[in-house]
Amino acid sequence: MDCSLNSHAKINLFLDVLSKLENGYHQILTIFSEINLCDQLKFFLTNKQEIKIVSNIESLNNSDNLIFKIAFYLQNRFSVKKGVIVELNKMIPVAAGLGGGSSNAACALKGLSHIWDLKLDRETRHEIASQFGSDINFFLEGGTAIGKNRGELLEKCNHIEIDNILLVNPNIPISSKTAYQAVKISLPNNSWNDLLKSSDPGFCYNKLEEGIIPLYPIIQELKNQMHSLNAINTIMSGSGSTVIGFFDDPQKCKNAQTWFENKGYWSYITTTRRRLEE
């Protein structure tokens, strides 16, 4: 009774920080979009009550991994007598603002519900997801969605179709904590309405850039270089460090990717991804 799932990355097409909440988190308004880049997860049922992560990234094979934490939680909450081996083929860069860990956690909820025969309904999955991170709830649904509060309160919205998206990562991790500690609250940016109406990437925006760029000037350097290579807009994804370039032509996008690859940066060309309804 094994199970294989693709664990898709996301980009934040829009991210504004509205206020600081009493619990220490920040109130945000964001537009999430799933993209085609993904990790692969395989779940193997075992008779021993052990939880084991086997990844191509050695540093992920431990109990700090969200997959492990969710498996341990489910095992205890629902008195599961079986165990699991999870094979994780990691393609999404770590701590890159692409939601790889949160996506893996959402897949863990789905995969473990299946192989342990927990039959978790949608409401229960979302309740559990919200305990482990702000973005996991989005990955339970996928597609495009508006995220409010910490990002865990979701509103479905129409698909925003954008092609010729170039992701470039400078091979440095940036933690969400660092990004949100550096942000300075100001007047809200309301151009998210225009983005929803038009699907024009010129309206894409990320408030967190302002605080991150003084700490990591490489982000601005990547943005400047993308513009010189004909990007029509550039933003940082989520809390970084991946920079997104939007291009109006596939050849321009490919030319830009070649330039960054020659400089030794990780890069990937993608599109936004439609929601797969259950």
- Residues annotated catalytic, as ranges: 10, 135
Compute the Cα dihedral for 42, 44, 45, 51 and give only its sign. negative
Q: With CA atoms as reference, report the closest residue to 204 among 153, 173, 243, 149.
A: 243
**Cα–Cα dist 106/211, whole Å:** 29
Q: With CA atoms as reference, report the closest residue to 5 among 149, 140, 163, 130.
A: 140
Report H helices in the chain: 66-77, 100-115, 122-132, 136-141, 176-182, 192-198, 209-215, 218-228, 250-262
User: What spatial distance separates the first Cα and last Cα of the chain, rounded to whole Å?
Assistant: 21
Q: How distant is the alpha carbon of residue 100 from its chain centre? A: 5
Q: How distant is the alpha carbon of residue 275 from its chain centre? A: 15
Contact status, residue 231 vs residue 244, Cβ threshold 8 Å:
no
Under DSSP, the state recorded for 272 is B
Strand partners, 165: 246, 270
